[in-house]
Amino acid sequence: MIWIGNHVSTSKGYAAMGAHELELGGNTFAFFPRNPRGGRSKTPAPEDVQALKDLMAMHNFGPLVVHGAYTMNVCAAKPEVRANSREMLRDDLIRQQALPGNFYNFHPGSHVGQGPETGVELVASALVAIVGEVEEATGRPLANTVLLETMAGKGTEIGRSFEELQAIIDGVAADGGQDMATKLGVCLDTCHIWDGGYNVKKELDGVLRVFDEVIGLSRLQAIHLNDSKNPCGSHKDRHEKLGMGELGADALQAVVQHPLLQDRPFILETPNNDAGYAEEIALVRSWMR
């Protein structure tokens, strides 16, 4: 069995997201708790959240992968941008306490000329502070694992290498303790690591070995399954439909089938409509037969 799904809109509520994913053939999904470009977030009704939980249990859904807004940049050079980003992250995590046992994934951000070391330090310190604030505000431990996404390395992005992601985790452990660091994981994006220079087409075993040596496969909690419009190492981050890009169907099938990547949610972020996602979900399921 595989957990496979795609991004779903929150416009009709939480239970409607689950029902829509079922129609597409999926058994997990991702969603933005606010507009992907930022803006305010609406608190879902408790009965709507419970209806989604009931639907997920009835249909054996895997963990969900909630996605932070693209505009969130907790390591920005401008203090006002950092403050607004931290507020978005804090607000999202507080709301997601109502959906325990899932994942909250976000892009670490861009250091905007401050240097990667400063960017890493700012992300780590923000996570330590915000997780503490969420737990204090809700009166209970963080209910979801926070995932750092692997990035393509365009511009001044943080997270362009496994080492940079591990540096964030190390910073959280240093500032917040090892228990705080256990609340963190990684979402591996196939397009991003390919564009970032990790050749998963020719060296999938080797890439996973490096990931395990640097971060540890136990922290790899979710996968964004995407093809890429660009060659390996391009640092451009342009997603393509499965099998129609530079990675190709064979390489992506190898990712889906790899024994070290089982029992994790796979989320499609390909340029598709509902019909296209339904086709790709069926394709991925056929790879597992």
Q: What is the pLDDT of residues 29-87, one digit of tens each?
A: 999 999 887 777 788 999 999 999 999 999 999 999 999 999 999 999 999 999 999 99
C-alpha 194 chain-centroid distance: 16
SS3 for 16-29 is HHHHHHHHHCCCCC
Dist CA 215 CA 224 (whole Å): 18
What six digits make up the tokens of 231?
């060659």
SS3 for 6? strand
Radius of gyration of the chain (CA): 18
Architecture of domain 3-287: Alpha-Beta Barrel (3.20)
SS3 for 190-249 is HHHHHHCCCCCCCCHHHHHHHHHHHCCHHHEEEEEECEECCCCCCCCCCEECCCCCCCHH
What six digits make up the tokens of 249?
């169907």
C-alpha 111 chain-centroid distance: 20
Please state the pTM of the whole predicted model.
Answer: 0.96
Q: What is the pLDDT of residues 216-270, one digit of tens each?
A: 999 999 999 999 999 999 999 999 999 999 999 999 999 999 999 999 999 999 9
- Kindly list the domain boundaries of the chain, sorted by start residue: 3-287
